[in-house]
Chains A and B, each alone.
Chain A
């Protein structure tokens, strides 16, 4: 079985523009997916965690726009707080309020954040730092991200 060509997520060439090879192609997807451990000190109420999710989208939208994002494939994820429920979210437009399902209750001391971001026109190497910074600013939590999660590199 051979690798198929033509839909671009394997092709990181920028033909004819070697001197601009750091400039991402607008049609080239950048992918970042990770599962991170989140610790809240002090514990946060469910409402604050929900606000953090919304704030994360705002922060990430700003970061992606600044990084030249031409198109959002999707930004989706889920926050799971043990014994407190879970909150799934997704968006396909920068700056849009994410669609959120599920619910959280009570105070959370820790959670697991699973995130899957596919965007176009952004340097894939820069994407993890954008996501991490956005989550850090929005949540204020101590978050342990795994190393080397970028896909299709």
Chain B
């Protein structure tokens, strides 16, 4: 079983990209399951993802990188026992630090083949996110294997160049991919690079 964690700040487009990645994996013949985490006591994205025909487990009322760590491990083990899919895609809350999820998964779920982190960046809001929640959004980049800089169709060339430069400086060796999940721009390249 392989794990892909799709991290990124609230409203960055994680669910939209998750569905595209899921469709691509399914199109290659991979079986998959999705774990949706929402910090509130009721969820919305899980129902939407389920409507697209994907098996979904939902974790509500906390964050899997801290308060729901045990729930995440139990859910992953349960998914393996029930479905044993080729891929599990985890969508944490937009407040989660993927490094904590990565460590948790690697430490507590044995015999995983591949574990990857894709972080989604909201290009139009990147400057304000750096202003208000810099520690969080920078932490979301630091363990990423790939970064999708999303909504590139909503910023001009100069602004996009600034976002890419900023992300590149924070994301280490991660592959950085400008995309628009809404228009489809750059998505083929993303789907080839991830996972």
Chain A interfacial positions (CB closer than 8 Å to B): 1, 3-4, 6-10, 26-27, 29, 31-35, 70-74, 76-78, 88, 90, 92, 114, 116, 118, 120-121, 149, 151-152
Contacts and interface: CB of A to CB of B under 8 A. Distances in A.
Contact of B128 (A31, A33, A35, A71): A71
Contact of A152 (B62, B128, B135, B136): B62
Nearest to B63: A9
Question: Which of B39, B47, B136 counts the most A-chain CB atoms under 10 A from its CB?
Answer: B39
Contacts of B63: 9, 152
A4 B63 CA distance: 10
A130 B93 CA distance: 23
B169 to A, nearest CB: 20
Contact of B11 (A1, A33, A90): A90
A70 B132 CA distance: 8
A1 B104 contact: yes
A90 B48 CA distance: 13
Contact of A73 (B11, B44, B65): B11
Interface in B57-115: 61-63, 65-67, 69-70, 73, 94-97, 100, 104, 108
B40 A88 contact: no
Contact of A32 (B11, B40, B61, B129): B40
A99 B128 CA distance: 21
Given A73-B11, A114-B42, A151 B61 contact: yes
Interface of B: 9-11, 38-44, 47-48, 61-63, 65-67, 69-70, 73, 94-97, 100, 104, 108, 122, 125, 128-129, 132-133, 135-136, 139
B97 A116 contact: no
Contacts, number: 104
25 contacts: A1-B69, A4-B65, A4-B66, A7-B65, A7-B136, A8-B135, A9-B63, A26-B132, A27-B136, A33-B39, A33-B40, A71-B128, A71-B129, A73-B10, A73-B94, A77-B44, A92-B122, A114-B42, A116-B40, A118-B10, A118-B94, A121-B132, A151-B62, A152-B39, A152-B67
Contact of A9 (B38, B39, B139): B39
A150 to B, nearest CB: 8
A128 to B, nearest CB: 11
Question: Which of A7, A9, A74, A151 counts the most B-chain CB atoms under 10 A from its CB?
Answer: A7
Given A73-B11, A90-B11, A92-B10, A7 B135 contact: yes
A88 B96 CA distance: 24
Nearest to B72: A1
Contact of A116 (B44, B125, B129, B139): B44
Nearest to A149: B41
B40 A151 contact: yes
Contact of A78 (B44, B73, B104, B135): B44
A77 B94 CA distance: 16
